[in-house]
Amino acid sequence: MSFINSIESIGEYALLVKKVIAVPDRFREFFKEFFKEVYKLGVNSIWIVMVISFFIGAVIVMQIALNVASPLLPRFTVGVVSREIILLEFSSTIMCLILSGKVGSNIASEIGTMRVTEQIDALDIMGVNSANYLILPKITAFVAFMPVLVIFSMFMGLFGGYIICAMTGTPPVATYVYGVQSFFRESFVWYSMVKSMIFGFIIASVAAYFGYTAKGGALEVGKASTDSVVINSILILMTDLVFTQLVMG
């Protein structure tokens, strides 16, 4: 039964995405909503991305400095490895897991509340494509803003490592900076940004699906919000595995 329900949900999700990806009824209204969502979902997430990235970046450098204490490895390895972890996985995947909690639950609860208070029915009655009007600006705004968040996250992660080196001297700041600059491949930054945009699409569309199909009252809206975070987390990790294998494997 649960398997059949899952298949049904995938079908419903696909139909919803088809409804979402359509030409907006009015571009003027679309852009108005788009910029509102850029601010709400993107700009408002910068602070949490910066705070988390700073501390995680600092912890990564500390852990690597403590655990890669081999005389066979040069000290600048700490900088190289920290940079690769931050660029390749932390700033895209782990940050998206965190954002699925903040942004995903926000989208699911907002659209879910609109569903149970008949606001979506009101849009349908007016002849508005409610899925397109409500969801498309959220998806496009979040996907478009993801690279900005990733850049902030990368910068703050590396900066956190820099501060911890300055405070503890393990490794010295100059060695850390040398490591961060060594063997740098620009393609990793692009890889990370593309990956985060795919995750951005998953987060916004899956959360919107759970909100849009919510039925009942406040309890169901809460459940939709929780379900969206759980499913988003699983999907992000699965997609990360597939994407990494396809691109790097």
Partner 1 sequence: MIKVKNLVKEFEGRVVLNDITATFKQGSVNMIIGKSGSGKTVFLKCLIGLVHPDAGEIRYSGKNIIGMKSKDLKRLRRDMGMLFQGSALFDSKTVLENVMFPLDMFSRKNKRERRKRAEFCLERVNLSQAADLYPSEISGGMMKRVAIARAIALNPKYLFCDEPNSGLDPKTSQLIDELILDITTDFSMTTVVVSHDMNSVMNIGDNILFLNEGVKEWEGNKTEIMGSDNSKLNDFVFASDLFKKIKEAEEIISDNDDEEKAD
What is the binding site for partner 1 (CB under 8 A)?
25-26, 28-29, 113-114, 117-119, 121-122, 124-129
Find, among 186, 188, 189, 181, the residue nearest to 76 by Cα: 181
> Please, what is the minimum distance in Å from the beta carbon of residue 116 to partner 1?
9
Q: What does the alpha-carbon distance between residue 110 and residue 113 come to, in Å, rounded to a whole number?
A: 5
Nearer CB in complex with partner 1: 33/240: 33
> Please, what is the minimum distance in Å from the beta carbon of residue 137 to partner 1?
12
> Please, what is the minimum distance in Å from the beta carbon of residue 100 to partner 1?
23
Angle at 108 between CA 107 and CA 111, to 5 degrees: 80
- Residues 78/61, Cβ–Cβ less than 8 Å: yes
Nearer CB in complex with partner 1: 164/224: 224
Nearer CB in complex with partner 1: 28/248: 28
Nearer CB in complex with partner 1: 28/183: 28
> Please, what is the minimum distance in Å from the beta carbon of residue 21 to partner 1?
16
> Please, what is the minimum distance in Å from the beta carbon of residue 28 to partner 1?
8
Nearer CB in complex with partner 1: 28/246: 28
